[in-house]
Amino acid sequence: MSGKWKWVILWLLSRDNVKRYGEIKKDLDHITHKMLSQQLKDLESNLLINRKEYPQIPPKVEYSITEKGKTLIPILELMAQWGDKNHSDKN
């Protein structure tokens, strides 16, 4: 799992269950459209997220975390706990 945004995207989807592309982009305001699109494609190809496309105009696409993706959430929680405990050590 390379790329700094994939972990954040998984975390967002684990909290909100379903998000549209624009909602993810809004939550990650420093990510480019190209980077977000690539990260979502990579996560989908690794079966960590689902992409559901609705045939309408304008196009509507929703993303959700898969059961396989959910298995990574305990790791993310441990990383967050470690970061909280060790954040003050860098001073």
For residue 13, tell me if it sits in a domain.
yes
d(CA 53, CA 20): 10
| Global confidence as pTM | 0.84
Provide the residue type at 7 as one letter.
W
Peptide linkage before 58 cis (omega within 30 of 0): yes
> What distances in angstroms separate CA 67 from CA 14, 29, 30, 40, one per listed residue?
10, 27, 28, 16
For residue 91, tell me if it sits in a domain.
no
Q: What is the domain range of residue 30?
A: 4-85
Residue given tokens 């696409």 in the structure block: 61
Percent of the chain with pLDDT over 90: 67
Give 48-73 pLDDT, tens digit per residue: 999 999 989 888 999 999 999 999 99
- DSSP reduced 3-state for 51: strand
Predicted confidence (pLDDT) at residue 91 exceeds the cutoff of 60: no
- Strand-pairing partners, residue 11, are none
> CATH number, domain at 12?
1.10.10.10
Give 19-57 pLDDT, tens digit per residue: 999 999 999 989 999 999 999 999 999 999 999 999 898
Domain total in the chain: 1
In which band, very low, low, confident or very high, does the pLDDT at 87 lie, cut at 50, 70 and 90?
confident
Alpha helix ranges (H) inside 33-72: 33-45, 67-70
For residue 56, tell me if it sits in a domain.
yes
For residue 90, tell me if it sits in a domain.
no
In which band, very low, low, confident or very high, does the pLDDT at 86 lie, cut at 50, 70 and 90?
confident
